[in-house]
Amino acid sequence: MRVRHKPWAREMLESHPQYVVSSPEQYKGNWEAVFENDQPLHIEVGTGKGRFITEMAKANPHINYIGIELFESVIVTALDRLIEANLPNLRLLNVNGEKLTEYFAKGDVSRVYLNFSDPWPKTRHAKRRLTYKTFLKLYEEILIDKGEIHFKTDNQGLFEYSLMSFSEYGMLLKFVSLDLHNSDFEGNIMTEYEEKFSNKGFRIYRCEVQYQ
């Protein structure tokens, strides 16, 4: 993804510590201290501009959410949304999803969302896909027992690869839709990429998988 550099982004993130957690490692095993309650925690890895996670947090005040995004120039838009919505159950982390186990202990997280993850279509880049087995191991290390991943994409190749990867990892495929927008699935919250690609006529794939 091409990212426009925003030199002011770092300062903006740092000036909103109530929304952007700057030293997440200090809350490993103790995210209740951040949210001041022990509600279940759902995270989105690769949250982008944050529409999905913000709308989810609005719709589900009984769940805590964390949006995780690598690029500060992208996550500042999520921060804008969060400032406007002022939600007590949502925080943002400007970190690399490869380091999840530095920030979360086993059982801290009840669900992982992956939405429109970068497809990395070349085989030699497969290890960078957020559904590659090393990432599935990371998620397993922070999720509750029988924790779930909910995954959406417009990319057929990535979806097929991911179903194989989940299956080879021994996960249970609980729900699979090959055309989400023409299915009876209710309550879908669109991401920025989802809107862009569905407007162009692309089909949206979605699955829910569970660790055993």
Q: Are 34 and 21 contacting, i.e. CB atoms less than 8 angstroms apart?
A: yes
By the rule CB under 6 A, 118 interacts with ligand SAM: yes
The only residue of 21, 41, 45, 171 in contact with ligand SAM, by rule CB under 6 A: 45
Distance CA 142, CA 145 (A): 9
**Residue in 38, 80, 108, 118 annotated catalytic:** 118
Distance CA 117, CA 193 (A): 10
Give the residue ranges of DSSP H helices in 20-61.
32-35, 51-59
The only residue of 46, 65, 111, 151 in contact with ligand SAM, by rule CB under 6 A: 46
Distance CA 58, CA 40 (A): 15
118 is catalytic: yes
Q: Are 91 and 54 contacting, i.e. CB atoms less than 8 angstroms apart?
A: no
By the rule CB under 6 A, 98 interacts with ligand SAM: yes
The only residue of 54, 89, 115, 177 in contact with ligand SAM, by rule CB under 6 A: 115
The 123-162 contact track toward ligand SAM, x by CB under 6 A, reads ----------------------------------------
Q: Report residue 192 as tokens.
A: 């920025």
- In terms of C-beta density within 10 A (0-12 exposed, 13-18 middle, 19 or more buried), how is residue 86 classed? exposed
By the rule CB under 6 A, 116 interacts with ligand SAM: yes
By the rule CB under 6 A, 68 interacts with ligand SAM: yes
- The residues binding ligand SAM (CB under 6 A) are 1, 45-48, 68-71, 74, 96-98, 115-118, 191-194
Name the residues annotated as catalytic. 118
